[in-house]
Amino acid sequence: MPIISHIGRRSPKVVVVFTAMYALLAVGAITMLYPLLLMISGSMKSETDFYRITPIPRYLWDDDVLWQKYVEAKYGTIGQAETAYRRPIGSWRRLEPPPPAALADPRVDDFEAYREREPWPRHFFSLGHTQHRGLLAKNARAFRRFVRDQYDDDITAYSHEVGIDYDAWYQVELPIANFGERTFKFQETQNYNLYYDLKGRAPVADRVVIDVDGLYWANFVRLLWADVAQYNAEHGTDHADLRDVLLATRPPPDGRSRDDWEQFVRDDLNLAFIRVDRSATARFREFVRGRFDGSIDELNHHWGTDHSGFGEILLPDELSSRGRMRTDLVEFIRSRPACPLEMLSTHGPRQALERFVADRRGVPVDQIGALSMPVEALDYRDFQRQTGALRWEFATRNYIAVLQYILMHSNGIRNTIIFCALMVLTQLIVNPLAAYALSRYRPPSTYQILLFCMCTMAFPGELTMIPGFLLLKRFPLVPLAVAVVATVGAAYVIRRALPKWSDGLVGVTAALAGLAAGFWAVPVSLERLGASVTSVSLLNTFWALILPGAASGFSIFLLKGFFDSLPQELYEAAELDGAGEWTKFWTITMSLSKPILAVLALGAFTAAYSEFMMALVIIPDPEMWTIMIWLYQLQSHSHPSLVYASLVVAAIPTMLIFLFCQKIIMRGIVVPVER
């Protein structure tokens, strides 16, 4: 019968009370759902929008925010994006789309047509959408998949081939590809060859063009001149913006511009973008003759060649030169007396674009002039073509990274399943047996035992962590087994011989006898025989995880109270039918206790699944680690949004187990009320 009748519910006061109750429940639900939405939203963000606290990521409907995330994902760092766009950005959140006039510039069509031409020289572009700031972008994931396929998922073979000691695939990253820096060398190692192969297969929209003019602006011009007015005053130019300053193909005839060109090309620009006129061959021969004191044998030794004289030496290739040969070429280019400036020129994607446009229009290259590459406008055009795919990529990439990380450590999944299953099974066997004995037999010391069980809850787990570790490291298996057997035997003998003794006295006496037998008699006897008691290490075993939590004082207390509420008539009827104690325990007690057992199972699973600190201490072997330890390792070097994604993924098994147990728990609440 309901507390408030159907007629009473029509009263205005009752309606107000009901409305207030439902309003409070709704507010309470919102206070729970809002933080959850913030965490889920944060798991789908990156550096661009992570600090915008919103329950739904703005990029799902705001194209301007999506553009910011696209540029961040493609270039990885603000410095690289500024170099590509030749303008200061400062923060991803201040990045605006290019103006319509820039998008309508005919140069964008020319640049896109040139980009579609195949093949591009490999030093003209690097690969975008790679790893940055603890996030795993799509091409970083593609590189791992590509390498795993190439080596049949054998991390050892890959590590041996590339000369890097990798323990797992999650450690594999793309090689550094700072193509524009003077110090970068286009190596022919296996790792770089895999990278070159992958970037050659990637979509053209994923290319990061190595804009020599952008390098000149970022690494030289803007470092020396604060504004364009100062630059124009010193160079006699009329540029509207510093980004309009381009690196000429040939050295300027005179003035400050010539000095700038010489300093940047000789000292900073990568050799791949410098061309040395073939007429400088004789000068180069004399230069290396002086560096090797006229010894061709010494040159051959350092260069790995077999020249018979210096007259056979040719200018090395700027792109493929290695070792000492490259060093000598660098020093030759730097040497003003040895290499006149007129013998140097630059050649990069812009020069190739100018020739492409000239051929396309059927005019000489000289008539085209310097064409500034509209990288930003073409990026925005690429962005507009894939907004839907980008939203899906940004919403799922953190979850993909977490799931791939977990699957790469499949032993963590296996260990977690085994550990949780054994812990639940142990808790559902040990605790019900102990509670059943206290409930059915009701010994005089029942409340003392329950008090002892409850006292164990007063001590935090951290207090017993070090003693537990030492005990598990030197576990006294033989003495403990002897002590248990001796305790049971002594209790049986004392009970038969002295039936008037109280249960507490029998238990204490039997325990003392067992301890004396196991931890005194056995060591002394073995010592006299010339042997010693060896301890057993339980570290790196499931026993070390299960034994400390096999029995729970609170669970025994809870079960004992539930068992006391079961009808005693059922046990009496079972005894009349000749049922044994095990039959009564299993058929009656356990069958009627499913709701409370579901509560215990849920608690045991939650405790085992979320176990981290103790598991890390007593399980130092990574092969035995559970998912929680691996997720901690992931979080230690990841972006906060990836940490949020790992928390969401880690919560899914607990939620599923709770939903499964909820039906059983609710049945135990609803059915007795209906009866």
CATH of the domain at 611: 1.10.3720.10
Average pLDDT, the chain: 86
| Overall domain count for the chain | 4
Q: Is residue 629 part of a domain?
A: yes
Q: Is 63 helix (H, G, I), strand (E, B) or coil?
A: helix
pLDDT value, residue 570 = 86
pLDDT of the residue at 673:
44
Residue 526 covered by a domain: no
Does a structural domain hold residue 1?
Answer: no
599 within a domain of the structure (yes/no): yes
Cα 299 to Cα 187, 274, 295, 306: the distances in Å are 22, 24, 7, 9
Judge if the upstream peptide bond of residue 119 is cis by omega within 30 degrees of 0: yes
Alpha-carbon torsion, ordered 651, 654, 660, 663, to 10 deg? -90
- CA dist 446 and 457 (Å) reads 18
Instruction: Report pLDDT for 387.
Output: 94
Show the domain range for 287.
212-347
In a domain, 529, yes or no: no
Whether 542 and 597 share a structural domain: yes
Question: Over the stretch 375-413, which tens digit does the pLDDT of each residue have?
Answer: 999 999 999 999 999 999 999 999 998 998 888 877 889
Domain membership of residue 494 (yes or no) is no
Residues of the chain above pLDDT 90, percent: 27
Are 596 and 615 contained in the same domain? yes
424 and 299 together in one domain:
no
Report yes or no: 399 and 620 within 8 Å, Cβ to Cβ. Answer: no
Same domain, 24 and 72: no
Q: What letter does residue 269 receive in the DSSP assignment?
A: B
Question: φ, ψ for residue 12 (rounded to 5)?
Answer: -60, -40
Q: Report, in angstroms and rounded to the nearest whole number, the Rg of the chain calculated over CA atoms.
A: 38
Q: Are residues 282 and 228 in the same domain?
A: yes
Is residue 277 within 8 Å of residue 345, measured between CB atoms?
Answer: yes
CA contacts within 13 A on the Cβ side of 155: 12
Q: Check residue 537 and report its DSSP letter.
A: -
> Could you tell me the two tokens for 150?
């190439």
- Domain end marker among 295, 325, 347: 347
Of the chain, the end-to-end C-alpha distance in Å amounts to 12
What is the per-residue DSSP string for 341-386?
A: GGGEEE-SHHHHHHHHHHHHHTS-HHHH------HHHHHHHHHHHT
Contacts of 525 (CB under 8 A, 6+ apart): none
pLDDT at 671: 46
CA distance 561 to 429: 17
Strand partners, 275: 345
* Angstrom distance (rounded) from CA 534 to CA 555: 34
Rounded Cα distance between 369 and 367, Å, is: 6
Report the alpha-carbon angle 6-8-14, nearest 5: 115
Residues lower than pLDDT 50 in the chain: 671-675
Regarding whether 438 and 306 lie in a shared domain, the answer is no
Distance of CA 272 to the CA centre of its chain: 35
Domain assignment of residue 275, yes or no = yes
Residues 222, 330, single domain; the answer is yes
| Statement to judge: residues 557 and 594 lie in one domain | yes
Tell me, yes or no, whether 12 and 70 share the same domain.
Answer: no
Could you tell me which residues are beta bridge partners of residue 279?
none
The confidence score (pLDDT) of residue 399 equals 93
Residue 674 confidence (pLDDT): 42
pLDDT at 495: 83
Q: For residue 523, which phi and psi values (nearest 5 degrees)?
A: -60, -40
Name the pairing type of β-strands 274-276 and 344-346.
antiparallel
Residues 178 and 296 in one domain: no
Provide the 8-state DSSP code for 207: E
* Shared domain check, 421 and 554: yes
Q: Which residue, 275, 289, 296, is CA-closest to 328?
A: 289
Same domain? For 239 and 203 the reply is: no
Q: With contact defined as beta carbons under 8 Å apart, do 274 and 346 qualify?
A: yes
- In a domain? residue 413: yes
**d(C-alpha 14, C-alpha 17), whole Å:** 5
**Going by DSSP bridges, is the β-strand pair 274-276/207-209 parallel, antiparallel, or unpaired?**
unpaired
